[in-house]
């Protein structure tokens, strides 16, 4: 089978949204989220299993109600630069906001990671979910959706332009002629747009993969359109089989309409497999995890994140869900809108909404190794994903999957038995972007 499943690892640290009890797990070090040794171990485990990438999420606003991992964690680019020196093949994908970073700094930081890792860097482009971040950067309020996504598109385009500052053969380093740089192969960007003015050039050459891989995670129409225009990888919401299939088809359609090859955008759904010797044992472990994470206060706070870190504790829990639709525009609009619609349709109280958010959304990938492999194969062949962004409760769950499910996928021809190359692009089956200035010169000469 020519088409292969891609797998990425998303380490939880001491517990992100919904994993309220993870920090109590005896297998999880209480300082895991700030322990570089933990991340190196996770990356090496992923590389041993031939996974495509290690994926690090981020946000830049917290309060005391936030998940344990959010309260105390390492900055992604710093973290991944350290991990890069302890791995050779696994991709390194970090999250950074296009809203609260300048394109030049982002271009240089991700370009540097790409060089340090030998061509394994990826940028997960976000527009920032937590509206409180704005006040950490001197703004009174978060930008609206249209502005955020317009800024994101321009930022990616500027950064890709900066990554092309040097053509591939710009540095002859010819000692005999005394020529280190061919000045004709260095190009200033001279960008003057709606959101950014950036002259360039970037003081960093292209890496073995040409440019870091662009990932994106939006689910709104604006997010999907941005993905269709610039993304090479997508972290999709997943959900039910039908939802995942519809999302996959929609993104591939939008990509084609944007004039791009749909095969050059890889869609990863979220997956939290629970694997044990039998289906019954795996289901029992999944129920235990659900019970470990029950915490109504944390669930109420988590609900607030979709509405810009809004404090829902100020309302009567048993009154109808409050009218907070105006907060969705500068928060997680897609998720917030769905919550509001469900509350109105069902006449739900605030307590009921919070409890429904907290209810276990059990992964479809739960069971004995054969059961999980069968489900993954069915979803993959039906066109619901190109890859899975895997999150495991602890190292025991990671080991179960790697030792029992991965070999089954390999025997079925669904997953690699060795890395295709040394760069993230090679392993994802993505082309190296041709330098724009080289392309223009070749067209003129033709």
Residue 33 CA to residue 12 CA, distance in Å, equals 8
H, E, C per residue of the chain: CCCCCEEEECCCCCCCCCCCCHHHCCCCCCCHHHCHHHHHHHHHHHHHCCCCEEEECCCCCCCCCCCHHHHCCCCHHHHHHHHHCCCCCCEEEEEEECCCCCHHHHHHHHHHHHHHCCCCEEEEEECCCCCCHHHHCCCCCCCCHHHHHHHHHHHHHHHHHHHCCECCCCCCCECCCCECCCHHHECCCCEECCCCEECCCCCCCCECCECCEEEECCCCHHHHHHHHHHCCEEEECCCCHHHHHHHHHHHHHHHHHCCCCHHHCEEEEEECCEECCCHHHHHHHHHHHHHHCCCHHHHHHHHHHCCCCCCHHHCCCCCECCCCHHHHHHCCHHHHHHHHHHHHHHCCEHHHHHHHHHCCCCCCCEECHHHHHHHHHHHHHCCCCCEEEECCCCHHHHHHHHHHHHHHHHHCCCCCCCCCCCCHHHHHCCCCCCCHHHHHHHHHHC
Q: Count Cα atoms within 13 angstroms, Cβ side, for 136.
A: 13
95: β partners: 124
Phi, psi torsion values for 22, nearest 5 degrees: -65, -35
Is 95 annotated to bind a ligand? Reply is yes
Is 371 annotated to bind a ligand? Reply is no
Is 58 annotated to bind a ligand? Reply is yes
**Cis bond upstream, residue 201 (ω within 30):** yes
The answer to whether the beta carbons of residues 405 and 372 sit under 8 Å apart is: yes
The answer to whether the beta carbons of residues 286 and 272 sit under 8 Å apart is: no
CA angle 287/16/152 to nearest 5° reads: 130
Is 290 annotated to bind a ligand? Reply is no
242, exposed or middle or buried, with CB in 10 Å at 0-12, 13-18, 19+? exposed
Residues in binding site: 58, 95, 149, 220
Annotated binding site for FMN: 58, 95, 149, 220
């Amino acid at each position: 089978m020519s088409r292969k499943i891609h797998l990425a690892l998303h380490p939880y640290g001491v517990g992100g949204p919904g994993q309220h009890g993870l920090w109590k797990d005896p297998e999880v070090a209480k300082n895991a989220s700030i322990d570089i040794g933990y991340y190196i171990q996770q990356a090496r485990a992923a590389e041993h299993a031939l996974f495509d990438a290690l994926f690090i999420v981020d946000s830049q606003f917290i309060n005391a109600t936030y998940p344990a991992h959010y309260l105390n964690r390492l900055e992604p680019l710093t973290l991944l630069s350290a991990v890069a020196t302890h791995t050779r093949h696994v991709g390194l994908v970090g999250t950074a906001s296009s809203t609260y970073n300048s394109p030049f700094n982002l271009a240089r930081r991700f370009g540097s990671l790409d060089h340090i890792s030998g061509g394994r860097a990826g940028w997960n482009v976000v527009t920032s979910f937590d509206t409180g971040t704005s006040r950490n950067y001197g703004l009174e309020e978060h930008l609206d959706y249209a502005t955020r996504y317009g800024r994101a598109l321009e930022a990616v385009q500027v950064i890709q332009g900066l990554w092309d500052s040097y053509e591939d053969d710009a540095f002859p380093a010819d000692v005999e002629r005394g020529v280190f740089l061919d000045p004709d192969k260095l190009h200033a960007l001279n960008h003057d747009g709606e959101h950014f003015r950036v002259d360039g050039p970037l003081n960093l050459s292209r890496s073995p993969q040409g440019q870091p891989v662009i990932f994106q995670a939006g689910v709104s129409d604006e997010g999907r359109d941005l993905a269709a225009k610039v993304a090479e990888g997508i972290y999709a919401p997943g959900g039910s089989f039908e939802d995942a299939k519809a999302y996959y088809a929609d993104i591939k359609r939008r990509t084609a309409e944007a004039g791009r090859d749909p095969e050059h955008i890889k869609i990863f759904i979220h997956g939290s497999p629970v694997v044990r010797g039998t289906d019954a044992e795996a289901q029992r472990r999944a129920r235990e995890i659900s019970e470990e994470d029950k915490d109504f206060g944390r669930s109420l706070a988590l609900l607030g994140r979709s509405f810009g870190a809004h404090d829902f504790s100020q309302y009567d829990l048993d009154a109808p869900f409050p009218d907070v639709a105006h907060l969705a525009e500068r928060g997680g609009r897609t998720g917030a809108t769905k919550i509001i619609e469900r509350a109105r349709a069902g006449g739900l109280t605030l307590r009921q909404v919070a409890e429904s958010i907290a209810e276990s959304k059990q992964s479809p990938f739960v069971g004995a190794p054969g059961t999980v492999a069968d489900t993954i194969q069915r979803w993959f062949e039906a066109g619901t994903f190109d890859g899975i962004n895997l999150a495991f409760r602890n190292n025991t769950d990671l080991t179960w999957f790697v030792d029992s499910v991965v070999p089954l996928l390999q025997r079925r021809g669904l997953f690699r038995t060795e890395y295709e190359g040394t760069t993230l692009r090679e392993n994802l089956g993505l082309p190296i972007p041709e330098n724009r200035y080289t392309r223009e010169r070749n067209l003129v000469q033709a």
